[in-house]
């Protein structure tokens, strides 16, 4: 077929219109809801040759790159719904506590909707990219000398006293929007994966993803339900230890949380799916962080690498082996999806620290070729 005739027979792909338009029937919106969107969602589901190779056939590992969302994290999925509903309800201001990404998304969507945004962040413990987003979008930023859990308690108290809408994931509209990540995965793969791996902080996301899979399964679009595998950072792993962590600590500042709001729902996702919630060390997180960047070309923030760190840790323990015997068809691949929750550019300082910045050189050919390994 000639190029001219093929261009007359192929139709243009429909433009992407954001997660609310894509999944409207699954979401709590009506024709009266004013949709506030930055065209979030439709993020890449990348096959990982590096990780699939480490597990071997018939395992296939995919990366759901949520860093490709407009503000650089999965939070946009929930925020489009939360802010649209806030506008519908006549709200004038939104409020959240955040380790950074929620505040970035809240302030961007609020700016678009013409709402005021107020964010409480743990002072000194949020990545530079995220802070810059909240500031440039015009949020009123309170940098509090306390951790995220204390900031969230303060948010609950402020919301009782002032006319503001809380847009943390305790707002159910956030969970509704975030479940669309599971829908997209099923739509791309043609079924749910066998294993779904995700970082866990405040535990809203694992709650939302499990809800998404269940809803799709119910209407026959998922085929099966995945095993949900969640990963906390070792120094901030209350769900793993079963105890609130008073002083959470990890280089993965996004998930530096000691008392997750959706703790109970995360346990339900784990237990109903016969999954696990485990801890990974900062060292394991940084190894996965570098592996993704250097072998798959995918730059994520440290917290996002927790899902891949967990994958590697479980693979080492041969956790996935029994799945081979449970396959209904021998030629069927075993699909694993790791959620990469946020973009690496959120936290450029960590990237530079973990590799070592180049030292300045004179403009001299010999010095430069030696330094870059061209001998």
Within residues 204-233, the interface with ligand F0G by CB under 6 A covers 204-205
When binding is defined by CB under 6 A, the residue of 73, 80, 125, 180 that contacts ligand F0G is 73
Rounded CA separation 219/213 (Å): 10
Q: Tell me, residue by residue from 228 to 267, as one string, x for binding to ligand F0G by CB under 6 A and - for no binding.
A: --------------------------xx------------
Q: How far is residue 146 from each of residues 239, 254, 257, 263, measured CA to CA in Å?
A: 21, 15, 11, 21
Read off the DSSP letter of residue 95: E
Interaction of residue 180 with ligand F0G, rule CB under 6 A: no
Say if residues 175 and 230 touch (Cβ distance below 8 Å): no
Q: Which is nearer to ligand F0G, 91 or 101 (CB)?
A: 101
Rounded to a whole number of angstroms, the minimum distance from the CB of residue 56 to ligand F0G is 28
Least distance to ligand F0G, CB of residue 211, Å: 12
Q: How far is the CB of 46 from ligand F0G (least distance, A)?
A: 17
Phi and psi at residue 62, to the nearest 5°: -120, 150
Total residues interacting with ligand F0G, rule: CB under 6 A: 21
Angstrom distance (rounded) from CA 139 to CA 117: 5
Least spacing, CB of residue 80 vs ligand F0G, in Å:
16
Which of 94, 106, 115, 200 touches ligand F0G (CB under 6 A)? Answer: 200
Distance between CA 293 and CA 45 in Å, rounded? 16
Q: Are strands 45-47 and 59-65 parallel, antiparallel or unpaired?
A: antiparallel
Q: How far is the CB of 322 from ligand F0G (least distance, A)?
A: 27
Angstrom CA distances, 78 to 38, 45, 253, 257, 348, stand at 12, 19, 20, 19, 25
**Of residues 41, 122, 129, 199, which one binds ligand F0G by CB under 6 A?**
199
Strand pairing report for 93-97 and 165-166: parallel
Length of the chain in residues, anyone?
375
Answer yes or no: are the C-beta atoms of 239 and 267 closer than 8 Å. Answer: yes
Nearer to ligand F0G, 181 or 334 (CB): 181
Q: Is 90 helix (H, G, I), strand (E, B) or coil?
A: coil
Helix (H, G, I), strand (E, B) or coil at 338: strand
Kindly write out the interface string for residues 81-120 of this chain, putting x where it contacts ligand F0G by CB under 6 A and - elsewhere: -----------------xxxxx------------------
Listed ranges 3-11, 202-210, 215-223, 314-322: which one lies at the site for ligand F0G (CB under 6 A): 202-210
* Near ligand F0G by CB under 6 A: residue from 202, 237, 259, 265: 202
Contact indicator for 286, 251 with CB cutoff of 8 Å:
yes
Please state the closest distance from residue 206 (CB atom) to ligand F0G, in A.
Answer: 6
Whole-angstrom Cα distance, residue 32 to residue 49? Answer: 45
Interactions with ligand F0G, residue window 328-367 (CB under 6 A): 341-342
Alpha carbon distances (Å) from 44 to 69, 71, 220, 322: 10, 15, 23, 29
61 touches 336 (CB < 8 A): yes
Q: Which stretch binds ligand F0G (CB under 6 A): 14-22, 158-166, 193-201, 286-294?
A: 193-201
Residue range at the interface with ligand F0G (CB under 6 A); choices 108-116, 297-305, 327-335, 350-358:
297-305
Rounded Cα gap, residues 199 and 230, in angstroms: 6
Binding characters for ligand F0G, 301-320, by CB under 6 A (x = yes): x-xx----------------
State in angstroms the smallest separation of the CB of 254 from ligand F0G: 3
Q: Which residues of the chain form contacts with ligand F0G (CB under 6 A)? A: 73, 98-102, 169, 199-205, 254-255, 301, 303-304, 341-342
């Amino acid at each position: 077929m000639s190029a001219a005739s093929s261009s007359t027979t192929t139709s243009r792909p429909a433009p992407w219109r954001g997660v609310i338009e894509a999944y409207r029937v699954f979401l709590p919106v009506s024709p009266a809801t004013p949709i506030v969107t930055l065209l979030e969602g439709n993020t890449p589901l990348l096959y990982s040759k590096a990780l699939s190779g480490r597990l071997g056939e018939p395992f296939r590992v995919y990366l759901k790159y949520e860093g490709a969302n407009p503000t650089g994290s999965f939070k946009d999925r929930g925020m489009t719904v939360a802010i649209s509903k806030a506008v519908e309800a006549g709200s004038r201001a939104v409020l959240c506590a955040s380790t950074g990404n929620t505040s970035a998304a809240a302030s961007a969507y609020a700016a678009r909707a013409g709402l005021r945004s107020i964010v409480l962040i743990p002072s000194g413990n949020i990545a530079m990219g995220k802070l810059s987003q909240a500031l440039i979008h015009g949020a009123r930023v309170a940098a509090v000398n306390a951790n995220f859990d204390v900031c969230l308690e303060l948010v609950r108290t402020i919301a009782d006293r002032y006319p503001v809408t809380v847009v943390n994931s305790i707002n159910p509209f956030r969970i509704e929007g975030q479940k669309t990540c599971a829908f997209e995965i099923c739509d791309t793969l043609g079924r749910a994966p066998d294993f779904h791996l995700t970082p866990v902080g405040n535990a809203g996301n694992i709650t939302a993803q499990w809800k998404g899979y269940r809803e799709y399964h119910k209407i026959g679009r998922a085929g099966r339900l995945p095993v949900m595998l969640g990963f906390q950072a070792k120094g901030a792993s209350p769900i793993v230890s079963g105890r609130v962590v008073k002083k959470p600590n990890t280089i993965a500042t996004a998930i530096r949380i000691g008392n997750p709001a959706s703790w109970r729902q995360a346990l339900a996702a784990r237990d109903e799916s016969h999954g696990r919630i485990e801890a990974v060390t900062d060292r394991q997180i940084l190894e996965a962080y570098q592996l993704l960047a250097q072998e798959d070309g995918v730059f994520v923030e440290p917290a996002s690498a927790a899902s891949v760190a967990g994958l590697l840790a479980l693979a080492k323990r041969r956790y996935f082996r029994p799945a081979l015997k449970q396959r209904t068809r021998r030629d069927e691949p075993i699909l694993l999806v790791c959620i990469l929750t946020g973009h690496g550019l959120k936290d450029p300082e960590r990237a530079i620290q973990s590799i070592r910045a180049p030292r300045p050189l004179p403009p001299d050919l010999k010095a430069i070729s030696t330094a870059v390994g061209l001998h």
